[in-house]
Structure 1
Amino acid sequence: MESFLNWEYMPLIPPLLTLLLVIVTRKVGISLGAGIITSAFVIANGHFGEFFRLVFDSFIAIFIEDGGLNTWNAYILIFLTLLGIMTAFMNMSGGARAFTNWALTKVKSRRGAGLMTAVLGIIVFIDDYFSALIVGQVAKPITDKYKISRAKLAYMVDTTASPVAVMMPVSSWGAGIMGLTAPLLVAAGTTNISPFQSFMYMVPMNFYVISAIIMMFIVVIFKFDIGPMRKQEELAINEGILRDKVPEFAEQEDELPVHEGSGATALIVPIIALAVTVVIAMYITGALEGGSWSVFSVMENTLITHSLVAGGIVGLILTMFYYFKHTKGDDDFSGRHILLGIKTGFLAMFPAMLVLTFAWMIGGLISELGTGELLGAMVESSSLPVELLPGVIFIVACIMAMATGTSWGSFGILIPVAGEIIISLGETELLLPSVAAVLAGAVFGDHCSPISDSTILSSTGSGSDHIVHVMTQLPYAVISALIGLVGFIILGMTANVMLALTGVLAGLIVVFIIVKFMYRPVTKQNT
């Protein structure tokens, strides 16, 4: 037993078991629970006393860190609660309905509703969490009206959250990536290139992200619904069922009254105020933490979760202002509806908070297992031809992020490993391509992992069942990843970014030709 538990590849078993259970059972709670139990059992080496301590400690670590409050996790849960309550009161004030009616005068088709969502996701690039939650909340009434399934909405939201943030230098991601890349540039002797320049050089090398975003527009414009997504769209178009499976932990919501005669400002003003407050708070907290008011110093040191809570508080205050303004003379509303709105808003977000808690627990245990370090060591010890390293690093980053559920964890482990390999081989021209491969693979794995927090939040913001979202997004992500892999292989062999981009675009053109001339979109069936 002991020798089995010390088996070299044992750290890979718990995350792989979790992924397998998700696919087989399609129940995220059971799958994450099994992953938590298995991870703790392996770490404890079969000792039950240690096992129970690890499970308890992994839960406590979500809220308590180094003897103090873990503000990152706690503030995300607080922001989710604030956003849920905001949504409930925006519905009751009539703001959401008025906004939908206004937007319907601008958006005239299902394709238009999809394009609006995609463009909105690209515009809101400051942070992936913020984008995942806000874009889904704003777009949901419009996509619902045009019978776009919640799964497709979640796919569009997720495809423009992390992918856009990872390509923008002025984002919470951009600054962090520059901070990880800077030591490698010094070690490689390429001090003539600044971290900012290196980041911009890597943008056109992020082949998965480029492919995924273009793929999303092909899906929206040409109604390219494949695999499980086709079933969801058929249900939405023909039966008006926007989600065939409610979230696993969902409650029966109380029916909220809706005030008639409100204006769209009851939704627009609180959302804009929330967004503006988040940006201002990010700048202020970044400047105070970093001691500098320069944009890149600010983005590197910003406290995103503090900023989200600040924005949520301002947004909720304005939401309540409009609620009281519009309902004060309405006899259908009373004091009990305030408590009903708070209760409904909290319960609407509770499933996401529960899944996030499980995901954070298994993420901490997988980190203690050393799964990421094992995968990184496998790359480092490989004797593959150097030309294939960007492609191999991309594949390993895909697997690592899928297993661990975190892009940032993959960044932190694999960027230094990839840099060390390239520098030791003296192939410095492949340094940035290899780092770009890490970034691309980590975003893919994040998209496909049921324990990824940004993917969970995309499901939450869109009102989609989480596992349905993961499974419907998977085919598009895999196609984009295969096209991206071709790009990294070409880049490794030629060190020519334009040639590699041409290969990626060629793959997308093949997809376009298939969709345009061979694919039959879902249509309304006559009954």
Structure 2
Amino acid sequence: MCKQIYSVLLLLFIHLISFSAYSSDKISTEGSPQLSIKFPKIIIADIATKISIVTDDINHNSIKDDSVWIEVNKQPILAKLDEGKIIFHHIFQGKEKIQISFQSKSFTSTIHPIPLWLSIIPPLIAILMALLFKEVFSALFVGLFSGTILIYSYQEASIFSAFFKAIFAISDTYILQSLADTGHISIILFSMLIGAMVNLITKNGGMQGIVNKLSKFANSPRSGQFVTWFLGVLIFFDDYANTLIVGNTMRPVTDKLKISREKLAYIVDSTAAPVASIAMITTWIGIELSYIQSATVQINIDESPYSVFLHSLPTRFYPFFTLFFILMLVLLKKDFGPMLKAEKKCRQALNTENLSENEIVASELKEVEIDKGTPTRWYNAGIPVLIVIFGTFAGLVYTGWDANVWNDENLAFGKKLSHIIGASDSYLALLWSSLSAVLAALALTLSQRILGLSKAVEALVSGFKTMLTAILILVLAWALADITKDMHTADFISNSLIASNVSPYLLPSFTFILSALIAFSTGSSWGTMAILYPLILPASWALCHATGMSDLDSMNIFYITVSAILAGSVLGDHCSPISDTTILSSLASSCNHIEHVRTQLPYALTVGGVSVFAGLIPAAYGVSSWIIIPVGFIFLFLIVKYIGKTAE
């Protein structure tokens, strides 16, 4: 496998040195204004490219509709005049010659676009290296470098110049670009604040107090996993908050009960997004409604986006089946595949001093050790955690408040709350709640004189430090996502799979798989939804009518396709080692990231398969969700019962 990867990289490198780059230039005449031809930074084959011709004439008098002649491969191109700027779009199929003429002067250049199929290389290399070498930093970096070397090799005449620019672009372009996003900065700050809070409530004995309280209910591996699952379902309004709070809170409990970190990470990861994707009051609502609305406008459907959302809820099979599947694993005390091995190893490692893993476990358990004599009062941790939970909810309501919606007598209370939270700023809500929780934890610690000010601040700073590794992974993952966006990776996957004619009844299943593949490659469920909703929803409506289906049947397929895009993106996000939520789950559970992905993958694919064959296909043919969901539950129960084995 290693030799095959290196062979692919070598062939790719040889391919890169075999072409010439495109360029931009100016057309100038004596005493007349100059025209600057502006190409985009990246030109991808089979993707519409916008090219601008700009004059430096302030009055824009020199350019007329017929004063500039544009040809590509000797074919005239239609251009648009806009305030002295001529804009035209062209889809380059391959190496093409472009000629622009103006006042007896002409500009000629050969455009060599990046083949669209190469866009799959960066995420593919990152994913293969992560799974093969079990080291995510180098995998993400090599994936980033493969993307930048592809981009700059098609811009620079020299491969050596391209090499150095590609190296520098990783930091000065893509990493900086990912850090310039306010949403990303908010996630980093929230993660650091949560890490600081968790470390402080650990050092002040509050976490141990929670452990002591939960131990009354979580006194066995099964009950411990059930409490973790229940908390994951309870914190339904945001997947980031869910992951970090549940993972950090339950880690000492599950360690004590000999539950593997891999199992904890799986439960945390597989309750966060599924719950957030089906609850009607979550931070996902706003983005979903905006995507649905953009699609309904294209096809002239009068139904409101919220109504479409509600009609699609019963067919979101993957989230429902995932939550039930976890519950069956817990109640039946069974596992299979790599997770079973991880659970057995955890049971044995914590009982056998001679195993090398025991040293790793012991070093990790030092994170939750407290000084002797420290009081273990549960409320010293419970109050800050509750502040995060209810503070986030209050922040969502505050930032999304709309008096007109609240006073609308035609809307039910649930719909009012959903609209308000859907329009909220989740990042601000998370920042406010996490900072408030840190301040509350500090006040509780100092007021009870559990720790002095210097030790309390030291605990907070130490909590910040524990997040640095995960933050670095997040930044690299975001940068790689930007690479895939610039190179139109999602378009390549979509075009490849959509090229063949698909039956309307198979479209939801096809969409589910396509969505999962894109989310797996890009590591972003929201990014996948942003790509596929405006692409697939209008296509599904047109396809249904093209085959003679009625409006009623077409709407049924439309609703299921809405669900399939979201559910597939959640599945792909669960499976992807470059997903930020998957990384956060590993972080919050202190689990090796690649081990988390490796152990979670068989479970996610199992539920995904049941979702397709027992869910989406029957639903498309008109079978009611009231029948499909119980049947799907039965299938999952039988799989766990007869394939799973106990780790005891």
Flag whether TM exceeds 0.5 (same fold).
yes
Residue 305 (str. 1) matches residue 305 (str. 2) = no
Distance 1:45 1:431, change over 3 A: farther
Equivalent in 368, 371, 377 of residue 489 of structure 2: 371
Which of 159-168 and 103-112 deviates more? 103-112
Residue 515 (str. 1) matches residue 640 (str. 2) = yes
Instruction: Kindly indicate whether the alpha-carbon contact (under 8 Å) linking 2:336 and 2:645 is maintained by their aligned counterparts in 1.
Output: no
Letter of the 1:298 partner, please give it.
Answer: I
SS of 1:180 mapped into structure 2:
helix
CA distance in 2: counterparts of 1:485 and 1:472, whole angstroms: 21
Equivalent in 525, 540, 546 of residue 407 of structure 1: 525
Match of 2:178 in 1: 62
Instruction: Kindly indicate whether the alpha-carbon contact (under 8 Å) linking 2:525 and 2:573 is maintained by their aligned counterparts in 1.
Output: yes
Distance 1:95 1:258, change over 3 A: farther
Match of 2:54 in 1: none
Cα deviation for residue 300 of structure 1 reads 2.9
Residue 267 (str. 1) matches residue 395 (str. 2) = no
Match of 2:499 in 1: 381
Give % identity.
28
Cα deviation for residue 313 of structure 1 reads 1.1
SS of 1:287 mapped into structure 2:
coil
CA distance in 2: counterparts of 1:133 and 1:434, whole angstroms: 31
Report 1:205-220 matches (<5 A).
Answer: 205-220=315-330
Distance 1:244 1:45, change over 3 A: farther
Letter of the 1:75 partner, please give it.
Answer: S
Residue 276 (str. 1) matches residue 390 (str. 2) = yes
Letter of the 1:40 partner, please give it.
Answer: T
Letter of the 1:351 partner, please give it.
Answer: T
Cα deviation for residue 339 of structure 1 reads 4.4
Report 1:41-440 matches (<5 A).
Answer: 41-45=149-153, 47-48=162-163, 50-55=165-170, 56-64=172-180, 70-191=181-302, 193-240=303-350, 257=371, 259-287=373-401, 294-327=416-449, 334=452, 336-425=454-543, 426=545, 428-429=554-555, 430-440=557-567
Distance 1:522 1:49, change over 3 A: closer
Q: Which runs of 5+ in 2 are unaligned?
A: 1-14, 20-112, 155-161, 407-415
SS of 2:287 mapped into structure 1:
helix
CA distance in 2: counterparts of 1:194 and 1:517, whole angstroms: 45
Distance 1:381 1:516, change over 3 A: closer
CA distance in 1: counterparts of 2:290 and 2:642, whole angstroms: 46
Letter of the 2:616 partner, please give it.
Answer: F
CA distance in 2: counterparts of 1:466 and 1:356, whole angstroms: 12
Match of 1:9 in 2: 117
Report 1:27-42 matches (<5 A).
Answer: 27-42=135-150
Letter of the 2:193 partner, please give it.
Answer: L
Instruction: Kindly indicate whether the alpha-carbon contact (under 8 Å) linking 1:32 and 1:362 is maintained by their aligned counterparts in 2.
Output: yes
Letter of the 2:169 partner, please give it.
Answer: L
SS of 2:371 mapped into structure 1:
coil
Instruction: Kindly indicate whether the alpha-carbon contact (under 8 Å) linking 1:110 and 1:148 is maintained by their aligned counterparts in 2.
Output: yes
Cα deviation for residue 262 of structure 1 reads 3.5
Distance 1:421 1:343, change over 3 A: same
Residue 473 (str. 1) matches residue 600 (str. 2) = yes
Match of 1:19 in 2: 127
Letter of the 1:512 partner, please give it.
Answer: F
Which of 205-214 and 375-384 deviates more? 375-384
Q: Which runs of 5+ in 1 are unaligned?
A: 65-69
Which of 473-482 and 349-358 deviates more? 349-358
Instruction: Kindly indicate whether the alpha-carbon contact (under 8 Å) linking 1:98 and 1:264 is maintained by their aligned counterparts in 2.
Output: yes
Letter of the 2:493 partner, please give it.
Answer: L
Structure whose alpha-carbon radius of gyration is higher:
2
SS of 1:522 mapped into structure 2:
coil
More helix by share: 1
Cα deviation for residue 334 of structure 1 reads 4.8
SS of 2:448 mapped into structure 1:
helix
CA distance in 2: counterparts of 1:241 and 1:370, whole angstroms: 50
Match of 1:456 in 2: 583
Match of 2:39 in 1: none
Per-residue displacement from partner, 1:22-55 (whole Å, max 9, x unpaired)? 1110111111111111111122235235424531
Match of 2:100 in 1: none
Instruction: Kindly indicate whether the alpha-carbon contact (under 8 Å) linking 1:166 and 1:173 is maintained by their aligned counterparts in 2.
Output: yes
Per-residue displacement from partner, 1:35-80 (whole Å, max 9, x unpaired)? 111111122235235424531210111222xxxxx32111211111
CA distance in 1: counterparts of 2:351 and 2:267, whole angstroms: 18
Which of 21-30 and 456-465 deviates more? 456-465
CA distance in 1: counterparts of 2:277 and 2:232, whole angstroms: 13
Letter of the 2:617 partner, please give it.
Answer: I
Letter of the 1:304 partner, please give it.
Answer: S
Cα deviation for residue 335 of structure 1 reads 5.1
Instruction: Kindly indicate whether the alpha-carbon contact (under 8 Å) linking 2:400 and 2:421 is maintained by their aligned counterparts in 1.
Output: yes
Instruction: Kindly indicate whether the alpha-carbon contact (under 8 Å) linking 1:131 and 1:161 is maintained by their aligned counterparts in 2.
Output: yes
Letter of the 1:41 partner, please give it.
Answer: I
Letter of the 2:380 partner, please give it.
Answer: A
SS of 1:21 mapped into structure 2:
helix
TM-score scaled by structure 1? 0.89
Cα deviation for residue 490 of structure 1 reads 2.3
Match of 1:67 in 2: none
Cα deviation for residue 162 of structure 1 reads 0.6
Cα deviation for residue 7 of structure 1 reads 3.2
More strand by share: 2
Which of structure 1's runs of 4+ aligned residues deviate more than 4 A? 2-5, 241-247, 250-256, 290-294, 333-336
TM-score scaled by structure 2? 0.73
Distance 1:221 1:29, change over 3 A: same
